[in-house]
């Protein structure tokens, strides 16, 4: 009987223990979930409903997560007795397994407590807690964008952005060691951002590297870190607006692009704006020539360079991309006329002044004529009404 | 002799219907048709072209969208240009036919019925200024005053300058065979400035002289109905009436009074055209601030 009692007790305790303790080390702790998966129970035991919600774990979500093979205790050590203390136990940090990522994060802007208002972003800010997912698994670029957008709403890509949902924020900005845009030697500094673009746009990258913009960048001895406001030789993002990176076929791209070129090439943009080409572009034409149609985009050279689309040898051929039947002489059109520059284009200069004088002369004389007539009639009507005449 | 004055509204819609009858035919059907076409095409050309002149203006995008995009606006612009060339050619043909059939061809080239500018027009212009300053009587005009000649020849000059430069810009590849490339730069300047002069002149000076001056306000529909009262002719073209009365010239044919419907249609159309024209001047003024 004693034995029977002892055995029964042993088996009973074992069964109870088997339900609780051993399971703590097993795949997704059934026994933890017995309490932590039962929201009703948690609500009864916590005064604060928010605290109850925080203590809740969905078994399904956890099993589906990339940590689904781990047990609760792999992260939450020191909770292996029941009832367990509510606080005072260290939760295992992610760094215990993900050392490289943690080191990267520690040097990142997200770990800069001063800059982050003492809060800081931790692993779980992006990866979640019990539903932690693997990047490139269920954690798609769009998912990542959503998570970044929680704080970086203003920098979220627009719907016109070609990269939206195709590559995530981290492709250009990096992930764990994410830096400042105007930062130091981290991934997003001016030169490195080019390398990120290069990963996909090799051809454009090569062309740019050899053209006049690329040469300017190569010769640039700009300080690192780059200070805001300093003029930087053009890189990809100078012309292709980050976060609003429209396709070159997009109706607004060319007119935006023209404005962009004009920020450095002020005179050229101003004079081109006096032509049909650019004005039609500004009004939404997608066939009128903009800067890049004549000068090229990733392979731009000064017009005295034989490689230039605007060189003497290539110019007519470039015109012909739109004006198919153009013949010699056509290329003498001045796409950047400056009516104030007599030496450069005398005919434009003289016709500009002739038409301005005609405008001022005709309107000046006849607006005065009109005004004088009006006054005359007014005076006559006043005289008539004084005399009590007709009307 | 002393017939009772006709009962008429306080403000007559059409200045050419004011005063005593009878009505006189002033413009024939073809003239009126040509002028109507000129209004329709000019407004179309102006509204489709002006966004390019004032690209920076806030209304330019709206206007372009109204025409269905810049390419469509360009098509409409060139279509209206073709119509302009067509009715101008018809006008020249009509004129030639009239001259050939006229018993006294000289009247088309000199004298009171001719549109050719003459020394008298210069004198009338100076006399008008003298009148403005109260230094003399109002000049007495013949069938066409210097202002009407200015409108006519202004349009003729505008037709050749704007039309010629417009054709150049429409077919650059064709014209570049004979013209140097800079001709297109010059054509751009001529086209846009001459169009601006035309718009500003017509919608201010022409509008005031013909419609808005207090003694004609709100409008003069003689170019729509083709007829005017004798009183109106005595006011606006007194020497022509004097020539009739002196028996120097046969009086123009008497006309029936314009019908009520025709008067209303002419007035509504005329007010709309005046409104749009003045709105365009407002748009230009707005664009000057950008």
User: Nearest-CA distance from B192 to chain A in Å?
Assistant: 9
Q: What pLDDT is stored for residue B117 in this prediction? A: 97
CA geometry: angle A151, A152, A154, nearest 5 deg = 130
Q: Which of residues 164-183 of B touch A (CB under 8 A)?
A: 169, 172-173, 176-177, 179-183
Q: What is the DSSP string of A172-212?
A: HH-STT---TT-SSSTTSHHHHHHHHHTT-HHHHHHHHHSH
pLDDT digits (tens, 9 = 90+) for B81-91: 999 999 999 99
Which one is predicted more confidently, B160 or A258? B160
For range A342-349, the mean pLDDT: 92
pLDDT digits (tens, 9 = 90+) for A288-299: 998 999 999 888
Confidence of residue A22 (pLDDT cuts 50, 70, 90): very low
Tell me how many residue pairs between chain A and chain B have CB atoms under 8 A apart: 131
pLDDT digits (tens, 9 = 90+) for B231-276: 999 999 999 999 999 999 888 999 999 988 999 999 999 999 999 9
HEC readout, B52-78: HHCCCCCHHHHHHHHCCCHHHHHHHHH
For range A334-344, the mean pLDDT: 91
Quick check: A188 and A173 in contact, CB under 8 A?
Answer: yes
- Interchain contact, B182 vs A379, CB within 8 Å: no
HEC readout, A345-390: CHHHHHHHHHHHHHHHHHHHHHHHHHHHHHHHHHHHHHHHHHHCCC
Confidence of residue A254 (pLDDT cuts 50, 70, 90): confident
Q: Which of A327, A370, A378 is nearest residue B176 as measured by Cβ atoms?
A: A327
Which residue bears the tokens 């009858």? B21
**Which residues on chain B are in Cβ contact (under 8 Å) with A275?**
185, 188
- Interchain contact, B205 vs A381, CB within 8 Å: no
Picking from B10, B17, B11, the residue whose alpha carbon sits closest to that of residue B262 is B17
User: Nearest-CA distance from B65 to chain A in Å?
Assistant: 9
For A281, nearest residue in chain B (alpha carbons): B70
For B62, nearest residue in chain A (alpha carbons): A283
- Identify the DSSP state of A297: S
What are the structural domain ranges in chain A?
A: 2-92, 246-337, 350-391
Lowest mean pLDDT among A2-11, A161-170, B115-124: A2-11
State ipTM: 0.93
- Interchain contact, B173 vs A352, CB within 8 Å: no
**Which residues on chain B are in Cβ contact (under 8 Å) with A340?**
none
What's the pTM? 0.78
Picking from A336, A240, A324, A323, the residue whose alpha carbon sits closest to that of residue A288 is A323
**Which residues on chain B are in Cβ contact (under 8 Å) with A279?**
52, 55
The pair phi, psi for residue A65, each rounded to 5°, is -75, 170
Q: How far apart are CA A377 and CA B14, in angstroms?
A: 19
pLDDT surpasses 90 at A82: no
């Amino acid at each position: 009987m004693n034995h029977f009692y002892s055995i029964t007790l042993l088996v009973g305790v074992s069964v109870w223990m088997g339900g609780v303790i051993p399971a703590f080390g097993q795949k997704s702790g059934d026994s933890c979930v017995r309490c932590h998966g039962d929201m009703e129970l948690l609500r009864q035991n916590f005064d604060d409903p928010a605290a109850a919600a925080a203590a809740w774990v969905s078994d399904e979500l956890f099993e589906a997560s990339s940590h689904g093979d781990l047990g609760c205790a792999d992260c939450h050590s020191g909770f292996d007795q029941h009832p367990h203390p509510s606080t005072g136990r260290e939760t295992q940090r992610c760094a215990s397994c993900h050392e490289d990522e943690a080191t990267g994060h520690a040097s990142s802007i997200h770990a800069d407590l001063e800059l982050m208002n003492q809060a800081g972003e931790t692993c779980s800010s992006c990866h979640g807690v019990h539903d932690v997912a693997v990047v490139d698994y269920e954690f798609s670029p769009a998912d990542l964008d959503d998570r970044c957008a929680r704080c970086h709403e203003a920098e979220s890509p627009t719907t016109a952005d070609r990269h939206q949902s195709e590559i995530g924020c981290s492709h250009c900005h990096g992930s764990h060691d994410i830096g400042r845009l105007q930062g130091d030697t981290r991934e997003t500094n001016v030169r490195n951002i080019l390398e990120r673009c290069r990963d996909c746009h090799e051809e454009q990258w090569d062309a740019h590297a050899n053209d006049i913009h690329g040469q300017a960048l190569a010769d640039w001895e700009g300080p690192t870190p780059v200070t805001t406001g300093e003029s930087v030789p053009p890189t990809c993002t100078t012309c292709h607006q980050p976060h609003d990176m429209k396709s070159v076929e997009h109706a607004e791209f060319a007119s935006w692009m023209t404005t962009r070129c004009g920020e450095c090439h002020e005179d050229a943009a101003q004079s081109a704006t006096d032509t049909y080409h650019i004005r039609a572009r500004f009004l939404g034409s997608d066939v009128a020539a903009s800067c890049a149609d004549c000068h090229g985009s990733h392979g731009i050279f000064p017009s005295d360079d034989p490689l230039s689309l605007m060189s003497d040898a290539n110019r007519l051929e470039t015109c012909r991309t739109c004006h198919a039947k153009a013949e010699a002489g056509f290329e003498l059109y001045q796409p950047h006329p400056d009516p104030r520059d007599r030496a450069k284009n005398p005919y434009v200069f003289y016709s500009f002044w002739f038409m301005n004088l005609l405008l001022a002369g005709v309107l000046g004389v006849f607006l005065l004529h009109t005004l004088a007539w009006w006054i005359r009639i007014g005076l006559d009507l006043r005289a008539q009404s004084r005399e009590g005449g007709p009307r | 002799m002393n017939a009772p004055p006709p009962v008429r509204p306080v403000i007559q819609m059409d200045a050419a219907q004011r005063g005593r009858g009878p009505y006189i035919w002033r413009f024939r059907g073809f003239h009126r048709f040509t002028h109507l076409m000129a209004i329709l095409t000019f407004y179309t050309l102006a509204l489709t072209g002006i966004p390019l002149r004032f690209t920076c203006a806030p209304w330019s995008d709206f206007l372009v969208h109204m025409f269905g995009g810049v390419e469509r606006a360009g098509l409409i612009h060139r279509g209206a240009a073709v119509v302009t060339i067509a009715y101008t050619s018809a006008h020249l043909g009509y004129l030639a036919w009239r001259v050939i059939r006229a018993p006294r061809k000289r009247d088309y080239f000199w004298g009171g019925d001719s549109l050719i500018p003459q020394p008298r027009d210069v004198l009338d212009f100076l006399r008008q200024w003298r009148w403005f300053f109260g230094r003399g009587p109002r000049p007495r005009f013949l069938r066409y005053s210097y202002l009407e000649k200015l409108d006519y020849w202004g349009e003729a000059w505008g037709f050749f300058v704007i039309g010629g430069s417009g054709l150049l810009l429409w077919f650059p590849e064709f014209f570049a065979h004979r013209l140097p490339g800079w001709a297109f730069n010059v054509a751009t300047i001529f086209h846009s400035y001459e169009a601006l002069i035309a718009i500003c002149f017509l919608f201010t000076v022409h509008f005031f002289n013909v419609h808005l001056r207090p003694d004609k306000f709100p409008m003069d529909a003689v170019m729509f109905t083709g007829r005017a009262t004798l009183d109106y002719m005595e006011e606006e073209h007194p020497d022509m009436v004097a020539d009739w009365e002196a028996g120097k010239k046969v009086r123009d044919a008497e006309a029936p009074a314009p019908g009520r419907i025709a008067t209303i249609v002419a007035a509504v159309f005329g007010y709309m055209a005046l409104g749009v024209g003045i709105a365009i001047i407002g748009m230009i003024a707005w664009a000057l601030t950008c």
